[in-house]
Amino acid sequence: MTNDRLFFASDYMEGAHPAIMKRLAETNMEHTAGYGLDEYSERAREKIRAACNAPEAAVYFLVGGTQTNATVIDALLRPWQGVVAAETGHIAVHEAGAIEFGGHKVLTLPQRDGKITAAQVERCVEAWRQDDNRAHTVMPGMVYLSQPTEYGTLYSLEELEALSAVCRSADMRLYVDGARLAYALATPENDVTLPDLARLCDAFYIGGTKCGALLGEAVVFPKPAIAPHFFTIVKQHGALLAKGRVAGIQFDALFTDGLYGEVGRNAIGAADRIRAALVAKGYAQPFVAPTNQIFVALCPERAKALSERVEMGFWENLSDGRVVMRIATSWATTAEDVDRLIEAL
Amino acid sequence: MTNDRLFFASDYMEGAHPAIMKRLAETNMEHTAGYGLDEYSERAREKIRAACNAPEAAVYFLVGGTQTNATVIDALLRPWQGVVAAETGHIAVHEAGAIEFGGHKVLTLPQRDGKITAAQVERCVEAWRQDDNRAHTVMPGMVYLSQPTEYGTLYSLEELEALSAVCRSADMRLYVDGARLAYALATPENDVTLPDLARLCDAFYIGGTKCGALLGEAVVFPKPAIAPHFFTIVKQHGALLAKGRVAGIQFDALFTDGLYGEVGRNAIGAADRIRAALVAKGYAQPFVAPTNQIFVALCPERAKALSERVEMGFWENLSDGRVVMRIATSWATTAEDVDRLIEAL
Amino acid sequence: MTNDRLFFASDYMEGAHPAIMKRLAETNMEHTAGYGLDEYSERAREKIRAACNAPEAAVYFLVGGTQTNATVIDALLRPWQGVVAAETGHIAVHEAGAIEFGGHKVLTLPQRDGKITAAQVERCVEAWRQDDNRAHTVMPGMVYLSQPTEYGTLYSLEELEALSAVCRSADMRLYVDGARLAYALATPENDVTLPDLARLCDAFYIGGTKCGALLGEAVVFPKPAIAPHFFTIVKQHGALLAKGRVAGIQFDALFTDGLYGEVGRNAIGAADRIRAALVAKGYAQPFVAPTNQIFVALCPERAKALSERVEMGFWENLSDGRVVMRIATSWATTAEDVDRLIEAL
Amino acid sequence: MTNDRLFFASDYMEGAHPAIMKRLAETNMEHTAGYGLDEYSERAREKIRAACNAPEAAVYFLVGGTQTNATVIDALLRPWQGVVAAETGHIAVHEAGAIEFGGHKVLTLPQRDGKITAAQVERCVEAWRQDDNRAHTVMPGMVYLSQPTEYGTLYSLEELEALSAVCRSADMRLYVDGARLAYALATPENDVTLPDLARLCDAFYIGGTKCGALLGEAVVFPKPAIAPHFFTIVKQHGALLAKGRVAGIQFDALFTDGLYGEVGRNAIGAADRIRAALVAKGYAQPFVAPTNQIFVALCPERAKALSERVEMGFWENLSDGRVVMRIATSWATTAEDVDRLIEAL
């Protein structure tokens, strides 16, 4: 790693936010119960319940995103049901078939900017209901969204309320993957809060791994009865931490003194400066992504040249020959990093 | 937690060995690749290969024991095969059906001190082969052992060589769960080394979570060809860490300057002192367990009284009315803890 | 096949009872709906409901025993539950891991004459409830019995009522595999009727394949709400017959004019004559099996000699060197077959 | 069922071809081994091997289509692989998630007339190979086709050869679902023979249920080594018939004296007459389907009126308000049925 190389490839390239590392160090020699029954985990649960305005919510700490998605989806679906997702949804593409490994089909819908709509879900449910052969098909049993989406875009409160209403009227579960939720919450145009998620969803997770923790995702079931025996299902999925405190201490830190908000704001502030610079310098952004991921379309030569200086993520090839690269900011991005990136652009 | 309470309930009640915490802190702000492709993980792999005298081994870092067992067993078994284990094996009892969730049967054998023998495995295979209806049954496809066992006992090199020979002649895989392997390796009477495991097994894991790490288990396949596409299987099981370095840095530390050995020796030294004190004071130990777990049979009143002072693990009720309690030492047990425990006994 | 060879190897060695073949032939060119929605299937369902005194029961026709067991067990268990069975239960041994393929553990109990008791189930449930680590283990969620058992023995009404009571008080399902149910029902000492099964069980199946049909098993859910979307689960298990009438017509025939009873009585009459002859001639019967399966312990030479004349099933080797052979009668066994067998003995 | 109602809803509305019923009746009281080890099954296997010009092929008899697809796909895929299919493929839509129940993802491709092309498969494989994140995705491991397709269309020999070549060069399996294969083979424009299938595919099945049998599908593995322990996998899927002869006798009959060809030709002859009448009378056929399924687009009133006289299958609603109905012929369709249908049109 040379000194002048810039790192914008993703939001999980460093360790943890220093405030988290500090808490892990301070508590290191304390004795606690295992499996998330320790007081730090309990404290983190309380803080998350408060932040979500969901005093009765059940909160569980798992390790990573794919694991969390597979475990929650298996817990909420019955055997004859599948999960509806955008064709670009993480569970549909980048989880190596983890949902199918658990026995469930992902029912994909076409996406726009990584999102699906209430109307699409309604048509999907209606088509299933009208199908004379529906008993030979997989029943749509829940909807999976990510906020922000895999394209860095956001569901508005209005969109989420419509999706929630469709799910409730169709007796389907609504589940939101919040791997990068800190960045959604910190985006100025976002109008979906944690209490909104708790009010509108049957389950969601508050991402830790990509939002400043070493690892960890906090699953929230606003109404715990929806997921009976979830602890055992977590264990069965190999998702139970023996030292559950490792996640608990981190989420306790993230929900103390507004750290989760700070993590998000740092990344969004940096991303907004980069987006402004891209616009100013005439770069093309193929998607309107307001969160911590910025997509830029470059000719191959430019992409190559820039990549020598800046570590970015490859996103996709466009049909016109250009390549889309992803620039991601995080809690760890400094003002100097952004200055230097803008200079390099 | 009062100041004079003593903690011997298990070996995963604290955070991580200070040397590990130090390395996590030192490396915290470095940028690295995700998913275990970082240089710390690679360095840890190299050190493990060297320690195992297995230069071609594939090494993967997973998060926890149940997850590791389920992932490795799914990877090594074919659909028509099951895994042979002691009826007290962790996979048979305490993994919430994780192996069956992956579609495989655990074929249990009676145990003695938590162990099974080559002769038992041979009879099991032979019975399957002689069975006219064997095509209607689950074929024994691999053997699962734990070293030390769930009872804290050890397989000797001779026993392990016999088990390995039976497995090889029957074309079965041999897999060793080393959740507490540091404690086995540090036990004076142990004669099974890491190179022995690499020579005799098709797969084994070197436990981190219970041996001084915050979390993490290092899976070793001495001959990588046995587990094709294991990375994808890990991902499919939700067992892939985005920040793979979190495990990599810890194992790098554990295999630097003999730390893994030191972790084990501290626990065994403490356990040996406790065992000697138990003998001297006339306590009954129902199993001969030479590693970091000590089992003591107490009358209920004595167990209750002692539990007020010392946090121990409940193990089982004996038919004579006594209760067996487990005392576990770890890398974190201090000489003072042991002094005070002996005094309390 | 020579003329003088005698066939007592099993009860599925011929086609179907002639009355069934006649009905299949008579109805062959009629047009009917598929997937069990035809009038013959509906008629058979009505007759089974009447025979079971269960007017609200849901009845489904599946193809074979392993398929039926796997489908019903998957439908009745939740992901965190397993099925309790005798260690000799068909699902535990001879279904090639079909239950585990569906993701569930078979929790085995020691058996006596192929049976388990209410007290054993109660202790199993109680042990789970008392276990501090129960959330790490598989919860017993249902009990699987076979009537008659794999050893040809019978549960008495008293035993079944006790098992049912334990299951209900523990909120467990009770499921009875009736692969050979006709033979149980026709045994003089049997006191468990179809209405008893409907009253005491959550699900059971009335065997066709081994009781005179070409194939087919009738699953009965006395209270249909227990198995929502069962049709889809059947389809998902590949257990849905396109020409559902093939099973429906056969069960319609079996439950017309007492054919199911006749099938059973023929076999039991033959078996009773054979048992009496064995006693008269001093043969040893290792199990007391009053149904259509007769077990006889022979020295190897005698077994070999007899096998040349009579096709029997090998059951097991005894530790004293003798071999246990199984003689099975069926709806197809004639009085002459029995005469000749007795003569051959 | 009134006398003048006409039945063209599907090809599985009657029992079995009379020649099959005759053989079942003739052999009914014979004693045979179970589980497909009887001489009729063996004879059928030999005839199928001969018809396929595949003397070394392994042939297994299963019960129905969904079951066969799920069992074969599970047998041929490894855990990290999925099966590529047309988005309209039976496994993708109408099997209630049976493939996902077995743990595998169906990777769908857009279809044209129910078909996918070698070029599509090649692009799919190439996209996977080029994907830097491919280890996080499901690897395309086999291709599923149906011949004829769900739309009654046919793959030409050229198309199948191209698909086979792509599969072989990509080390993917090629599997053909022949639920209605008799009708493909009997279609004049078809140029794909059984020996072609055996030469080009890794597995295919010769449909019985929809081609004149009561039930049964014959799976052919031209090279048996591709599916080790398939018998046990069949058992594990609940797909093993105890009275295997029931399928064996039927396939023996279907492959004796050209019955399978006759079954097909009767249906195709009838379908061709109906298609000609539809053209002559100016009906619109939305798909070019040359086999035993005929699709006709009708205005809703006409569809309703015709349905009162003729039982047809509903296929789909068109965006212009018309409804597509399916007319299916079979081995059981008589010349008089066709006359009366044409008259009714």
User: For the residues of A207-221, what is the DSSP string, one character each?
Assistant: E-TTTTSSS-EEEEE
Chain B residues within an 8 Å CB radius of A242: 12, 64-65, 209-210, 215
Choose one of C219, C236, C254: the last residue of a domain: C254
Give the chains touching B; criterion: ≥3 Cβ pairs < 8 Å: A, C, D
pLDDT category, C1, cuts 50, 70, 90? Answer: very low
Asked if the structure places residue C12 within a domain, the reply is no
**What mean pLDDT is predicted for residues B142-151?**
97
Are the Cβ atoms of D98 and C238 closer than 8 angstroms?
Answer: yes
Tens of pLDDT, residue by residue over A27-83, are 999 999 999 999 999 999 999 999 999 999 999 999 999 999 999 999 999 999 999
Token pair, residue D101, equals 């129940």
Preferred mutation among C236, C237, C240, C241 to probe A, highest tally of A CBs within 10 A: C236
Lowest mean pLDDT among A220-224, A263-267, B301-305, D197-201: B301-305
Q: So what's the pLDDT on residue A1? A: 41
- Sorting pLDDT into bands at 50, 70 and 90, what band is C288? confident
Mean pLDDT computed over B205-222: 98
Rg (CA), chain C: 20
Last residue of a domain, one of C234, C254, C274: C254
pLDDT tens digits, residue range C309-319? 999 999 999 99
* CATH code assigned at B138: 3.40.640.10
Report the distance separating Cα C180 and Cα D12, nearest Å.
Answer: 30
Together in a domain, A211 and A282: no
In 3D space, the residue among C300, C311, C320, C314 whose CA is nearest the CA of residue C344 turns out to be C311
**Does A79 contact C75 at a Cβ distance shorter than 8 Å?**
yes
Q: Which of D254, D274, D309 marks a domain boundary?
A: D254
Under the banding of pLDDT at 50, 70 and 90, the label for residue B3 is low
pLDDT value at B53 more than 90: yes
The residue in chain A having the minimum alpha-carbon distance to the alpha carbon of residue C135 is A232
- For residue C182, the distance in angstroms to the closest alpha carbon of chain D comes to 17
Cβ contact, residue pair D238, C238, below 8 Å: yes
Residues 6+ apart with CB under 8 A from B225: none
D91-150 per-position pLDDT tens digit: 999 999 999 999 999 999 999 999 999 999 999 999 999 999 999 999 999 999 999 999
d(CA A22, CA A28): 10
Residue D303: which CATH number? 3.90.1150.10
A313-317 sheet: strands from edge to edge: A293-298, A323-328, A313-317
Cβ pair A242:B7 closer than 8 A: no
Tokens of D200: 């080009």
Element (H, E) at D316: strand D313-317
Contact B15, B257 (CB under 8 A): no
Structure tokens at D328: 């299916």
Q: How far is C30 from chain B (nearest CA, A)?
A: 37
Q: Using the structure block, give the residue that is written with the tokens 């240089």.
A: B39
The answer, yes or no, to whether residue B195 has pLDDT greater than 60, is: yes
Q: Which residues have CB under 8 Å from A253's CB, separation 6+?
A: A17, A19, A20, A22, A23, A259
| CA-CA-CA-CA dihedral for A286, A289, A290, A294, to nearest 10 | -70
Using pLDDT thresholds of 50, 70 and 90, give the confidence band for residue B4. Answer: confident
Sign of CA dihedral D282, D285, D288, D289: negative
Strands of B323-328's sheet in order across:
B293-298, B323-328, B313-317
Cβ neighbours around C77 below 10 Å, total:
23
User: Are C30 and C91 found together in one domain?
Assistant: yes
Cα gap C136→D10, rounded to integer Å: 50
Residues 6+ apart with CB under 8 A from C239: C62, C63, C67, C68, C71, D67, D238
- Spatial separation of the C-alpha atoms in residues D119 and D153, rounded to whole Å: 18
Q: Mean pLDDT, chain A, as a whole number? A: 96
* Cβ-defined contact of D75 to B75 (cutoff 8 Å): no
Considering the domain boundaries, does residue D1 fall inside one?
no
List subunits contacting chain D, requiring 3 or more Cβ pairs under 8 Å.
A, B, C
Whole-prediction pTM value?
Answer: 0.97
| D230 found inside a domain | yes
Quote the longest CA-to-CA distance of chain A: 64
**How many angstroms away from the CA of A75 is the closest CA of chain B?**
13
Closest CA to A101 of D170, C228, B98: B98
- The residue among C68, C235, C334 with the most chain D CBs within 10 A of its CB, best to mutate, is C235
Residues C265 and C227 in one domain: no
Across the interface, do D229 and B78 touch by the CB < 8 Å criterion?
yes
- Minimum Cα–Cα distance from D93: chain A residue: A137
- pLDDT tens, residue by residue, C220-238: 999 999 999 999 999 999 9
Among partner residues C95, C96, C314, which is closest to B132 by beta-carbon distance?
C314
Rounded Cα distance between A151 and D189, Å, is 48
Distance from CA of D76 to the nearest CA of B (A): 11
Is residue C4 in a domain? no
Mean pLDDT confidence for A310-330: 94
D232 close to B80: Cβ distance less than 8 angstroms: yes
Q: Same domain, yes or no, for D250 and D278?
A: no
Segment A261-317, tens digit of pLDDT: 999 999 999 999 999 999 999 999 998 799 999 999 999 999 999 999 999 999 999
B215–A246: do the CB atoms touch at under 8 Å?
A: yes
Place of tokens 């969620």: C141
- Select from C138, C131, C68 the least CA-distant residue to C103: C138
Who contacts D342 (Cβ-Cβ below 8 Å, separation ≥6)? D273, D274, D277
**Cβ atoms of residues A21 and B25 within 8 Å:** yes
Instruction: Indicate if the pLDDT at residue C55 is higher than 80.
Output: yes
Structure tokens at B187: 């036990």
- Closest Cα partner for C288 from C297, C298, C299, C301? C297
Could you give the CA distance from residue D17 to residue D13 in angstroms, rounded to a whole number? 12
What's the structural domain count of chain B?
Answer: 2
Instruction: Looking at the structure, tell me whether residues C216 and C289 fall in a common domain.
Output: no
Position C238 in a domain = yes
pLDDT, residue D2, reads 47
In contact, A48 and A59? CB cutoff 8 Å: yes
Cα separation values, D150 from A323, B35, D153, D157, D214, Å: 39, 42, 7, 18, 21
Residue B177 has pLDDT above 50, yes or no: yes
Q: In angstroms, what CA-CA distances link D200 with B298, C282, D148? A: 71, 62, 16
Assigned token pair, D345: 């049109």
Nearest chain B Cα to A233, which residue? B96
Residue B175 inside a domain? The answer is: yes
Cβ atoms of C157 and C191 within 8 Å: the answer is yes
Q: Helices B259-280 and B245-254, interaxial angle, to 10°?
A: 70
Of A80, A93, A101, the CB nearest to D103: A101
Closest-CA residue of chain A to C230:
A80
Q: Please give the structure tokens belonging to residue D329.
A: 């012929």
Whether residue B65 and residue A97 make contact (CB cut-off 8 A), yes or no, is no
Which residues is A204 bridged to in the sheet? A176, A220
Residues D131 and D267 in one domain: no
Question: What are the φ and ψ backbone dihedral angles of B277, each rounded to 5 degrees?
Answer: -65, -40
**Helix (H) and strand (E) counts for chain D?**
14, 12
DSSP letters along C9-36, please? S-S-SS---HHHHHHHHHTTT----STT
User: Collapsing DSSP states into helix, strand and coil, what is residue C129?
Assistant: helix
B265 and B230 housed in the same domain: no
- Predicted pLDDT at A288: 78
Label residue A319 exposed, middle or buried (CB < 10 Å: 0-12, 13-18, 19+): exposed
pLDDT at A201 over 90: yes
Best D105, D108, D317 member to test A by mutation, with max A CBs in 10 Å, is D105
Residue indicated by tokens 């179907």: C16
Verify that A216 and A335 share a domain, yes or no. no
CA D290 to chain centroid: 15
Residue D238 lies in a domain: yes
Same domain, yes or no: A272 and A222: no
Tell me the C-alpha distance between B44 and B206, whole Å: 12
D221 & D100 share domain: yes
- Using the Cβ of B100 and the Cβ atoms of chain C, whether some distance falls under 8 Å is answered with yes
For residue B229, the chain D residues in CB contact (below 8 A) are: 78-80, 135, 139
Chain D contact for B229 (CB, 8 A cutoff) = yes
| Residue C295 and residue C154 share a domain | no
Please report the pLDDT score of residue B1 as a whole number.
Answer: 41
| 8 Å CB contact of A79 and C80 | no
Q: A83 phi and psi, to 5 degrees?
A: -110, 130
Asked, for residue C6, whether it belongs to a domain, the answer is: no
Domain that holds residue B314: 6-13+259-344
Q: Residue B188 gets which letter from DSSP?
A: T
Query: Helix, strand, coil: what percent of chain C each, to 5?
Result: 40, 20, 40
Q: What is the pLDDT of residue D287?
A: 82
Q: Provide the H-helix boundaries in chain D.
A: 18-26, 39-51, 65-76, 90-93, 98-101, 118-130, 157-169, 181-185, 194-200, 230-236, 245-254, 259-280, 300-309, 335-344
How distant, in Å, are the alpha carbons of A24, A294, A333 from that of A266?
22, 15, 7
End-to-end alpha-carbon separation of chain B, Å? 20
CA distance D307 to D311: 6
Q: What pLDDT is stored for residue D3 in this prediction?
A: 58
Q: Please indicate, yes or no, whether residues B319 and B250 belong to a single structural domain of this protein.
A: no
Residue B79 contacts D where some CB pair is shorter than 8 Å:
yes
